[in-house]
Amino acid sequence: QVQVEESGGGLVQPGGSLRLSCLASGRFFSIYGSEWHRQAPGKQRELVAAETEGVVSDYPDFVKGRFTISRDNAKNMVYLQMNNLKPEDSAVYYCKIRAGGYFYWGQGTPVTVSP
């Protein structure tokens, strides 16, 4: 099984930047793919970024040009670089890892974009 832990969330001003990290640990050979999702209060969870074996999927329009997903295989880490943050980006951000034929969710890290 795989444990997933996000970190790096916090309070940031509009226009600022934040880098989220996702650490995968446990019994697996490698991360096959990863996704970042977010969920604001009262709203549905939405996909913001995804990659498979380092090949990045097209970003949704509301984050395109601002967010970047990447990975470090040696560290079993996945990152989400967020630039030019907007108040509507405020949400709990979740990392989802695919490894060994299964999906694993982290518990989330909150991001608040506010003056």
pLDDT tens digits for range 69-105:
999 999 999 999 999 999 999 999 999 999 999 999 9
DSSP for residue 80: E
Above 90 in pLDDT, residue 14?
A: yes
Per the structure block, which two tokens stand in for 98? 């695919």
Above 90 in pLDDT, residue 35?
A: yes
Tokens 């209060």, residue located: 41
Q: Number of C-alpha atoms within 13 angstroms, CB side, residue 104?
A: 23
> What is the per-residue pLDDT for 101?
93
Distance separating alpha carbons of residues 85 and 91, to the nearest angstrom: 12
pLDDT in tens, 40-66: 999 999 999 999 999 999 999 999 999
Above 90 in pLDDT, residue 1?
A: no
- Give the pLDDT mean for 13-42: 97
Distance separating alpha carbons of residues 25 and 7, to the nearest angstrom: 14
